[in-house]
Every structure is written in structure tokens, then in C-alpha cells.
Structure 1
Amino acid sequence: CGRNFKAFHHVKISFGYNLEVGDNVVVHRHVLLDDRGGIRLGDGVSVSDFANVYSHSHGVVEGRDIATPVTAIGAGVRITYHATVMSGVHLAEGTMLGAFGVATKDTEPHAIYAGIPAKKIKDKPDESRRPSTPDPLAD
């Protein structure tokens, strides 16, 4: 676990042994981190209330077929309210996933994604690429 990790009330970590957390990460209320296959949260990640991050999925035909790819959340990513990251997805550095968005595929760095399934809306402005403050709650 990295420095300055903050987790608020009712955060659920499914297994607890497959989670890597970078520095200055904040996970807000009622978040599910399904770490069965492994989750990596890079430095400066922010996960907003009621978001879900999965690292396992079941087969469509046979529910007992379980895939457990690692789900990777890059440095400076923001996963906003009620958003979902599906198993095995890599959110690239600086990605923002909009409220209620469902990320089913890897993203491009420093871009904003929204919708179901999440699609790229636009690139983030250059000023948003600056390093975050040491305290993620100070922003």
C-alpha cells in the first residue's frame, strides 16, 4: 500500500490479497474493488462514491468458466460517481471515466470517457495534465 492512501466508509475489497495501491490514492464511500484477479491502482488515483472495479468475469455460456485478468488503473485516473471498470481493462494515465460510465475496453492517456459502454468524448486540456497535489483531498 502506497503513502497517503485514504479509504472512506463502506469500501468493499472482495479478497484483499490481490490489490496494489500507489501513493496518494483515495477511494470514496461504497466502492467495490473486486480484486479476485488483481487490481493495480496507480499513484494519484481517485475512485468516487458507488464506483465498481472488477477483475473477474464469468463465461456467457458456462457460468463456471471464470476469467481473472488484472485490471490496471493508471496514475492520475479519476473514476467518477457510479462508474464501472470491467475485468481486465486498463485505464491509461490521466483517464477520466464519467459518472455511470462503463469501461469495457482499454483507454487512451489523458482522455475523458463516458457512456455505456464508455467511449472517448475528448482529450483533457493540457492544464489538467499537471501533477496532482501531495494530498488528493486538497484538489
Structure 2
Amino acid sequence: MGLLTREQIVSMGFACVGENPKLSDKASYYNCEKIIIGNNVRVDDFCVLSAGSSGIEIGNYIHIAVYSSLIGAGKIKLSDFSNISSRVAIYSSNDDYSGQSLTNPMVPEEFTRVEHADVVIGRHVIVGSGSVILPGVTLEEGVAIGALSLVSKGCKAFGIYAGVPAKRIKERKRDLLEAERCLLQRSTPHN
């Protein structure tokens, strides 16, 4: 994977970029001035980050795998230690599919009924390959979404969810919280 240099990243005009960014030169970044990138963030090839008016906020220690997309006018927030597997689509905007209005961005806004709502991906969330997250969804801390799931409603902390639509199928272990504590303790210089 070819990576953008720090100079290339800075020249793109992101709102903020932390330390150790690993951004693919084959990914697409739109409205960079509305995108915040934390420390230790990796964005793989062929991803699309298209920030709308409310922006995209990417925390620390985050991986966005190949072919994933973050798109829409609402805010999309990826909290620390979250992981977006390959081919995941996160939408903060969605057309009305009922037939009561026209669809697609080439139609004047007065003829459409697009829903815009923020999406929040909590700390330690992992979203499995091929999943779709719809506008207005909050995945609370520690949630795991199984591959090929459709998430149209919020998910409660430390649950494992899967299916179409996604449903809670079991509890997720919390051992990762201790691993986080150890990592951060190791990363913090001691005086």
C-alpha cells in the first residue's frame, strides 16, 4: 500500500492531523477541511472519506480497511480503538426509498427527502466486513457488528450484533479495556 507523506497530508488541508497517520494514496478524501484525523490512524486503499457539512472525526488507534466508505452530510465520528473492516459503508445521509419523493443528488433538493443524522462509532467498536451503518445510529462502547450486517438502530455497549437487521446475539468480553490501559501506560513517558 502506497502511503501519503506527512507533507502531502498537510497540503490536503485536513482540519487536524495527529501523529503517525498512515493514509493510502489510493483512497479518496473529499472536503478535507471538515475531516479530523487523530493519532495512529490507518486508511487503506480504495476507501472513500466524503465529509459533509458536519464533518468526519476520526479518533486515535483506528483502522479503516480496504474499500470502506464514510459518506454523508451528518457528522460521522469514529472513537478511539474502533475498527472498520473491509467494504463497510457508513452513511450519515440516506435517500427516502418510499417512492414519495425523487432520489439521488442530481435532483434538486426540493424534490427529495434525504435523511441526515449523525453516526457515532464508540470506543473499541469493530464493524465486520460488508456491513452497512445507516444515519442516526450510535454503536456504544465495545460493540461488535458481525459481517454482512445492516445496522439501522443503535446498539448497546459490549454486545455482539449480527444480521439483517442487526440484532444482539450475545455479550462481548471486556478484556480489551485492560489491554488498552496497558498500551496507554506503555505509550506514556514516565518522569
Match of 1:121 in 2: 169
The answer to whether the 8 Å contact 1:110/1:129 transfers is: no
Tell me, yes or no, if the aligned pair for 1:23 and 1:44 is still in contact at 8 Å: yes
Structure 1's 45 and 23: CA in aligned 2 closer, same or farther, altered over 3 A? same
**What is the alpha-carbon distance in structure 2 between the residues aligned to residue 108 and residue 128 of structure 1?**
17
Pairing partner for 2:159 from 111, 120, 134: 111
- Supply the distance in 1 between the matched residues of 2:178 and 2:158 (Cα, whole angstroms): 11
Aligned pair partner of 2:50 in 10, 14, 36: 14
Structure possessing the higher radius of gyration over alpha carbons: 2
Give the TM-score, by structure 2 length.
0.66
Cross-structure match for 1:69? 117
Runs of 4+ in 1 over 3 A off after TM superposition: 128-134
One of 164, 170, 178 as aligned partner of 1:130 = 178
Q: CA RMSD in A?
A: 1.6
Q: What secondary structure is seen at the aligned counterpart in 1 of 2:120?
A: strand
* Unmatched segments (≥5 aa) in structure 1: 135-139
Q: Which has the higher contact order (CA 8 A, sep 6+)?
A: 1
Q: What is the correspondence of 1:37-116 to structure 2 with a 5 Å cutoff? A: 37-59=74-96, 60=98, 61-63=100-102, 64-116=112-164
Number of equivalent positions: 134
Distance 2:50 2:66 in 1: 15
Number of the residue aligned with 1:137: none
Query: Residue 50 of structure 1 aligns to a residue in which SS?
Result: coil
User: Are the counterparts in 2 of residues 94 and 129 from structure 1 also a CA contact under 8 Å?
Assistant: no
**What's the CA shift for 1:128?**
4.3
Give structure 2 stretches of 5+ with no counterpart.
1-36, 103-111, 185-191
Identity of aligned residues (%): 25
TM-score, with length taken from structure 1: 0.89
Query: Structure 2 matches for 1:16-35, cutoff 5 A?
Result: 18-35=55-72
